[in-house]
Structure 1
């Protein structure tokens, strides 16, 4: 049986170009979420395609214990791009693996066991990352998971302070919750978490798998909140859809991270694609563009949808629209009637994660379509 893990949609995608994808029937769709934030520079950006193709012709694979130019260059790019002093880089294959490594590194560096996570948070599906993921539906049938995890309300600094102590290895937190419903928190909250973790010798892990690489209006959401974590994780859009993730660490974590490894860590082809992706994001000013177009999109949604919805929330081009009834029918109607692909974030939230290259005319098309299906 093929594809038995995923519930497949009745649209078979054949190609992608910029902000659109095309199915096998030749129907073109505006992609506002089909790629789960994995195409920040758009589908099949020529610079990324050229970098990957050129590398593919020279060398498809060499294990990470052998230096390679594409991997070495990516180490340097990520080291320079990370928040100040968060400049040690571990490469892997996905966001789940990046978070799994972060949890291992924090436990080893601190010599402690307890992890604090937040309700509604999502950090992955491997056993360690899954243990820090809130929703029961992801855990059913897989327990017992890794122990020592305590969940607190997202945004409640008193609860967070009470949970952190001398036995706490790490706090893992999204600066803007994605899967949990596009839930933002204040700068004051994240800065207070930073103070509480530093005071107790606890590692602060910022999960930027979905929020990073310009999506929320700066390269990292950490920059929006003026917070420097001990560990930052990234993936999704890093390779423009090719499988790669990264765990960035401060020195005190990297110097005592323990024994860890991965066969495919920083493969040449995905490293080349990731390097080109970072180049395009920086050169084209995509974080700033996401901030501008995202603000316009949110304002238009709020003005035109009004009382027909409960709330519009998010930052940059990571936007959630909380509707008054189930989101699945709305998503279906957007795809079938308007050729727009979006995502859920829970049962009543439409999630928009388009390429960062969209323009106002794309935003206008989506607002009009959502207005129609909501009505």
Structure 2
């Protein structure tokens, strides 16, 4: 089908849950994607942080092809090697106990909520204002924005929202029913909101004192996005439970909930037919290996620092830019106007960026991105902001 026919058929056959851009993407290579018409786009959105090591990565493609020829899925009623290999890697990288595998970030957060209730025997969860933890009913109950929740209420009972970056507000919300606090190390969907340096440290200390579990949602910040494999490693703390998804398998669906020793499901407490399937785990193993072999955590930190420095130079040049925020390659620039038109102008110039929370351009490029590619993006941004 040509691009026009694809768009027409999509509108007839697919539920319209997304406001799509006007292009049809055909294939990708590295930090670039190519439209059906052959036009080349520099991708600074990375499939919403899912394509962590770039499009068409040979190591992942080879792992997926080889695994597809061998075995795709036999469910979790049997032992499989790729899942066990991945679990061991993630346990070592996280410093935690055991993994539960699923298929997405929302599912990973659902599992974390169930695990917290099961382990503590308590029901209530404290989340934060402007948080995003997913769209399935349990994860949605911990998600702040009214536009995500309103049509589907009532959500689950027992969820309270407090100010982000405010441990005192969390303290005031705790009751004898509180099982856990769930928080993002950096709020992504709300516009790349970075908490104070001591926030997570103080929150962890408070949770320990009150015997409350701390759940960190690293669906977006994890897999080396911020310059460490997990963002909490910047602060020398360990959560009781952490969730991971998006970039873990470089675009192949996967989610995982990792918990401390002693926090565990029993048989039949929870399950996922496709969770930890051979194909996803093969892709994830290849992705993690590539990140470690190519020192992409260091590259995320280095290129992120460079990009933020240059974006701040654009801020000083263009009145439209209000603030630059970020850590590693998770970066946002807040504008003094709605950003949709700017994102569309970037698209016309061959640059993919994301507009979030009305006024923030969000950048989540592949971790392999180079200074040369960032300079191309900066030149385009300079032009459209002028």
TM-score (norm 2): 0.94
> What SS does structure 1 have at the residue aligned with 2:27?
strand
For residue 372 of structure 2, the aligned residue among 341, 361, 365 is 361
Partner of 2:336: 324
Partner of 1:58: 70
Q: Is the 8 A contact 1:108 1:258 kept in 2?
A: no
Q: Aligned partners of 1:313 and 1:159: how far apart in 2?
A: 24
> What SS does structure 1 have at the residue aligned with 2:126?
strand
Partner of 1:194: 204
Gaps of 5+ in 1: none
1:255 shift after superposition? 5.7
Q: Is the 8 A contact 2:52 2:247 kept in 1?
A: yes
2:227 is equivalent to residue 185 of structure 1: no
Partner of 2:22: 10
1:70 shift after superposition? 1.1
1:257 shift after superposition? 9.0
Partner of 1:162: 172
1:186 shift after superposition? 2.0
For residue 264 of structure 1, the aligned residue among 274, 294, 297 is 274
- CA deviation map 1:132-190 (0-9, x unaligned): 00000001210001111110111112101111243211100000000011000123111
Q: Aligned partners of 1:274 and 1:15: how far apart in 2?
A: 20
1:373 shift after superposition? 1.0
Q: Aligned partners of 2:267 and 2:233: how far apart in 1?
A: 25
Partner of 1:314: 326
For residue 350 of structure 1, the aligned residue among 355, 358, 361 is 361
For residue 48 of structure 1, the aligned residue among 48, 52, 60 is 60
- CA deviation map 1:264-289 (0-9, x unaligned): 11111111000100000111111111
1:34 shift after superposition? 4.8
Q: Is the 8 A contact 1:108 1:256 kept in 2?
A: no
Q: Aligned partners of 2:178 and 2:309: how far apart in 1?
A: 41
Partner of 1:39: 51
- Cα RMSD between the aligned structures? 1.2
Q: Aligned partners of 1:258 and 1:71: how far apart in 2?
A: 19
Partner of 1:114: 124
Gaps of 5+ in 2: 1-11
1:256 shift after superposition? 6.1
Q: Aligned partners of 1:256 and 1:206: how far apart in 2?
A: 22
Partner of 1:371: 382
Alignment of 1:128-167 (within 5 A): 128-167=138-177
Q: Aligned partners of 2:135 and 2:265: how far apart in 1?
A: 27
Partner of 2:219: 209
1:344 shift after superposition? 1.5
